[in-house]
Structure 1
């Protein structure tokens, strides 16, 4: 078991260091996009009034002006419609409202699919409602990076993290950077070595409509990972870019919200099957039950990995200092998520997303 754990940690370090080099080559630099094709910015919203008050102005003040903003309201019960309605005097803003997803569809997936039906841009930028562009040239820099890539590329980002529940939220960049070797996505054929960060991704409109990725994963809760894998099997490769200086995401307003949000995804990230879940628990238990010296070594190794990923995502050092707490919480979260999925009791924003 000790040899196995050493191999796991060596693999994590190899992936992380490879990704650090990979990201360093793609960091946005000052300057404008060479061209300004029409970008359709597509945002799903269900009870996102508070987040939209920050996101919409950050988009409308961009130096890159050739865009349309389409917000699809997925049957919100808060003041989302009022917040968006106040911006409809800007001709670039469109508001669509639905009455919930059709049978067999997950809400967010359906919302983005419906929004794409109304888009007319050459490029689609999918953003979550809790994101925010940090500088007036942010969209221009993202567009410039995307334009430098081949037609077989879908761009996705590592974003800066804000908001509450950072003991849990900080595990997002940890997972993105230490679990998936982005530098091998184009080199190895396996679709398992692919994903997207659903908080922000950009694709050419022609490619999107040729492949219809949202329609292909209409009932997937972890739709961004599945879209990334589907696109790769179709010859379109995800490219991860460090956008922490240009885009932030305020995922949750409290620790309780963070727990519920990750509860719906945690078990699925482990594959949504008992075996990977049990392997995770075995590794955690083995790291705890080994001799004190070996246990401390593995703890320090995992801790150091998280310190690196925290720095890349601009997470406060105070969160990094208590990383062992994050690891313990993650284990209990995995248990809670697995039980919820097995029992079909995962709820999010007033809906049961696993069925009754």
Structure 2
């Protein structure tokens, strides 16, 4: 056989191999898009149902209320999306958010810092909590579930200790509540917090899809051992990703305290489950290696819309909790089915 024929044969084999490799990749992307479409369709069905169930649901003010309710949980979900894609979990984001709100009260009310300095310090304090989680997981080798469960309890306890078990009010900095509540659209109650949420969605989407942070998050979640063998410092990137998630927790703490104009040290429990459920509903796998910011946003809107709709049709609070619990179970079960079929 001539060298030309050999070269042609080798090129043909390489092309065939590339085609075979591209097939599963395209199928995986198609399946991911389908999951997002199904989540979006579920959101539409929920909106249509509650619109027929109550004439008070599909109004401009109520839709803005849904977006406002989705803001804090959604920002928590954005940060934890990165963690879950690596195959990790963060159970401390709810109480961590409350702890950050308490620290905002310390910075602004107790210590009298300027508004910008107190807000920046609160966001960085959230990053510190994430850094500690990252050290526990990536350096000390503690399983993420246990490491973040410990941080959840520590944050809850310290919030009570530092605040003296009492709310901290921002009476000396009334402009603090404008961060979340100030309307930025003339003639419509469109809070600044929602605009901040939109900005964070864009930032998170770019980080996940266009930067090395996103690429390594997917790589670690898909096959951590292979990623380490390829020369990637897995410990360092896990540390980075948990710290990044902490930044989102700190920002959520600012917005939550701003919305209430107070730091409530007894809140936060259960928000981590809602945020994780939003991530899973949006198609991010609890096993890691797969996920998207668009899906997470859809999941957060589903959770906020469901809670808002149940409240509008006068479903008792205890049954609202039951409904949210059922949604979480369904989301995890569907994630298990997806993994089995993958």
- Kindly name which structure, 1 or 2, has the bigger radius of gyration based on alpha carbons: 2
Query: Above 0.5 in TM-score?
Result: no
Normalized per residue, which structure has more strand? Answer: 1
TM-score, with structure 2 as normaliser: 0.26
TM-score, with structure 1 as normaliser: 0.26
Q: Which has the higher contact order (CA 8 A, sep 6+)?
A: 2
